[in-house]
Chain A
Amino acid sequence: MTSMLELLTDPALFATVLRVMTPLLLAALGVLISDRAGVFNIGMEGMMLSGALSGVLVSAWIGSAWLGLLAAVLLCAAIGALMAIIVNKLGAHLIITGIALNLAASAATTLGLFFATGDKGMSGSLKSGVLPSIRLPVIDQIPVLGTLLSGHHVLTYLALLAVPVVSLLVWRTPFGLHLRAVGVDAKSAAAAGIRVARVQMLALMLSGVFGGLAGAYLSMGYVSWFAQNMTAGRGFIAIAVEVMGAASAWGTLAAAVVIAIAETLAITMQSLGLPNELMQMIPYVVPIVVLTFWASRRRALARIAQLS
C-alpha cells in the first residue's frame, strides 16, 4: 500500500497525465469542431496516423522538427478538405468516408514508411526531429508549482491553450455561429444564406489541423519515431472523449483529463504487478460507462420534460 501511495503522490505522475492527455485532447477538439458543423469526423484515427508519419518523414528530410509539424498540420488539413469534397461534392456517406479514411491512412502510412525506409514496421533508421519541452520563465522558479507546471511539451501547452480558443471560436465568433447553425440544421442554414459546403469544409480542415497536431505529438513528442498503426485506437478514444464532453470544449477537457488519469493509473499499476492487459482496457471501458450514464440521464430528463 505504501508503494501505491508513493506512486500516486509522485509529481512525475502529473506529468504522465499531461503526456497521455495531450494527443487525446487535441484530437477530441478536432472532432468537436467537425461535430458542431454536422460532419462528425470518424476519420480522426487516420488523420493522426498521417500526421504522425508526415511529421517524422519531413523532419528527417529537412532536418527541422518545426517544419515536420507544419507538414503534418498542412497534410491533415488537406485531408480534411478532401473529406469535405468527397462528402459534399461526390455525395459519399459521411461515416463510411471516415472509415475509408482510416483504412486508407493505415495502408498509405505503411506504404509511405516502406518506400521511405524499406521497413514496414518502424522508422528507427530515420533521424527524425523531436519537438521541445518548454520551461516557463517565472513559474519555473516557484518551488512546488514550478515542477508541476513547467517543463512540459510545447504541444501540451498548445492543447491546453486551444480549449478556451475553441470555446470562443464556437460560441463567440460569426464563424462559430455559422458552424453551429450548419450543424443543427443544414437546410435552414442554407436558406439563411450560409454557404454550408464551405463551412463544413473549413470545419473539417480545422479538424485536420488538430489531427495533425495530435499525430505529430505522438511521433515527435510522446516517442521519437513512427511505428505502423502507432495511434492504436487513440483517434477512437478521442471520439469517445468528445462525446463524453457533450461537444463542449471545457467538457472535452474534463473528459480528456478523466481518461488520461485512468490511463495513467493503468500504466502505474502495471508496475505494481497487476496484469497489464486488464489495465489497458480501462481507458476503453470508462467512455462506455460514462456515455451510457449521460445518455440515459438525458432520456430520463426528456421524459420528465414531456410529462410536466
Chain B
Amino acid sequence: MNRSILAGLIQLVVTAVVAAAVVLIVLIPFALLQPAPLAVLTSFLIGPLDSVRHIGNIAEVATPIALTGLAATVIFRSGLFNLGTEGGFFLGGLAATAAVLLLPLPGFAAPLLAVAIGAAVGSLACIVPGYLRIRHDASEMVTSLVLNYAILFAGIFVLNYVLRDPAAGAMMSYRIPAEARLERLLPGTRLNSGAIIAVVACLAAGVWLFMTRPGLNLRIIGASPGFATHLGLPAGRIVMAAQVAGGLIAGMAGAIEVLGLYPRFSWTQLPGLGWTGIVVAILARENPFLVLPAALFLGYLQVGGNILSQEVGIPTEVVGLITAAIMLTVTASAIFQNPKLLRLIRRFRRAEVQPS
C-alpha cells in the first residue's frame, strides 16, 4: 500500500479515535445516572445502525448538514469567518416555500425552480456580510452574527403576514402542494432526492476546489492573502465569489430541507443547522470530499440521540454537548500538531522516499 496515503490516513484515524473517545466520555456519566447504563450505550451506539429505517434516518439528517457544511467549507476556504450560513439556510427554506405558494411554477419543474429560488434568496445572508467586509472592511463575523437574527425576524414577518394559513392554528404557512415536494427515496423515512443533490454537490465542489484553477486560486487566497496579492490574483472578486457560492449552497440546503421534509413552513426560530454545518466543515478539515462522512457521522450521533430520548428518556440535547466537545478536540493543536504525531507522519513519508 502507498505509504503517503497511509501517512494522510493517520490524521483521519486520530480524528476518528478522538471523536469516539469524546462520545464515550460525554455519554458515560449520563448512562451511569440511568438504571441500565449498558442499555443506554447500546441504544445510542448500535441503535442507529440496527435497521434500514434508522440508517435511512441517518442519511436524512445528514443531507442538510452536509450542504451547510459544504457552504461553510467554501466560505472558510476564502479566509473569511462569515457565519451567515445559518441565516442563509433559514432564508432559503422560506423563499422556496414562498415560491411554491405564490408563483405559478410549472408542475414538473416546480421543485427544481423552488430550490433555485431558495438558493438565490438565501445566498443574500452570506453575500451581505461578505460585501460589507470586502467593500467597507466591516467585520464579517459580527455583521453575519446579527444579520442572522435580522433575517429571522424578517422571515417571521413574511410568514405571519404573507404565507400564514389562518386555518392552521399555530403560526405556519399554507400547505406546500404535493407536486412541489421532493421525492421520497426510502419508504418509512423522510430520505428524499435532496440527498442525491448533497452527494453530487460535495463531489463537484471537491473536484472544483482541488482540480481546477479557480479552486487553486481560492485555496491560495485563503491560505496566504499576501502571496495571492503578489501573484496578482483579483482577491476581492475571488473571495466574493466564494461568499456567493457558499450562500447559494446554504440557501439550497434550506430549500431542500423544507421541500423534502415538511408539509408546511413553520420555523419561528433559527433551526441551528447552519451552526451544525460549521461543525461538519471543521470535522472535515474544510475538505469537500470529507464533508459527506463528517455529516453522516453527525447524523449518526443525532439519530442515536433521538433513539435515546425515545427509549431511555435522556433528552436528545446530549448530542449538542458531544458536538461541542468534538469541535474543540478536533481543532486542538495539542492533539493534531503534537510533535509525536508529526514525527510519526514524517517517518512514514521518509520510508517511502528511501525504500529499505
| Contact of B138 (CB < 8 Å), options: A90, A237, A277, A292 | A292
Q: Is A287 close to B, CB under 8 A?
A: yes
B321 touches A104 (CB 8 A): yes
Given contacts A103-B323, A107-B319, contact A233 B149 (CB under 8 A): yes
The answer for the CA separation of A114 and B329 in the assembled complex, in Å, is: 27
Binds B, one of A92-100, A176-184, A218-226: A92-100
B328 touches A96 (CB 8 A): yes
Q: Is the interface of B mostly helix, strand, loop or mixed?
A: helix
Measured CB to CB, the nearest residue on chain B to A294 is B138
Binds B, one of A50-58, A149-157, A278-286: A278-286
| Contact of B147 (CB < 8 Å), options: A102, A106, A284, A294 | A284
Binds B, one of A7-15, A137-145, A208-216, A295-303: A295-303
Cβ < 8 Å to A, chain B residues 314-337: 315, 317-321, 323-325, 327-329, 331-335, 337
Interface string of B124-152 (1 = CB under 8 A from A): 00001000100111110111011111100
Chain A residues contacting B161 (CB-CB under 8 Å) are: 275
| Contact of B320 (CB < 8 Å), options: A107, A114, A237, A294 | A107
B81 touches A95 (CB 8 A): yes
B141 touches A287 (CB 8 A): no
| Contact of A240 (CB < 8 Å), options: B137, B146, B324, B327 | B146
B143 touches A292 (CB 8 A): yes
| Contact of B141 (CB < 8 Å), options: A95, A106, A298 | A95
A299 touches B324 (CB 8 A): no
B147 touches A108 (CB 8 A): no
B142 touches A277 (CB 8 A): no
Cβ < 8 Å to B, chain A residues 17-31: none
Chain A residues contacting B145 (CB-CB under 8 Å) are: 42, 236, 239-240
Cβ < 8 Å to A, chain B residues 106-136: 128, 132, 135-136
Measured CB to CB, the nearest residue on chain A to B30 is A111
Q: Is A207 close to B, CB under 8 A?
A: no
Q: Is B94 close to A, CB under 8 A?
A: no
The answer for the CA separation of A291 and B83 in the assembled complex, in Å, is: 16
Measured CB to CB, the nearest residue on chain B to A236 is B145
- Number of chain B interface residues as a range: 35 or more
The answer for the CA separation of A99 and B143 in the assembled complex, in Å, is: 15
For A, the interface residue count at a CB cutoff of 8 angstroms equals: 46
Q: Is A101 close to B, CB under 8 A?
A: yes
Measured CB to CB, the nearest residue on chain B to A114 is B315
B146 touches A93 (CB 8 A): no
Q: Is A59 close to B, CB under 8 A?
A: no
A111 touches B321 (CB 8 A): yes
Among B128, B132, B139, B142, chain A packs the most CB atoms within 10 A around the CB of B142
A103 touches B275 (CB 8 A): yes
Measured CB to CB, the nearest residue on chain B to A237 is B146
The answer for the CA separation of A294 and B315 in the assembled complex, in Å, is: 44
Chain A residues contacting B156 (CB-CB under 8 Å) are: 277
The answer for the CA separation of A93 and B333 in the assembled complex, in Å, is: 8
Chain B residues contacting A248 (CB-CB under 8 Å) are: none
B153 touches A110 (CB 8 A): no
Chain B residues contacting A114 (CB-CB under 8 Å) are: 315, 317
Cβ < 8 Å to A, chain B residues 152-179: 153-154, 156-157, 160-161
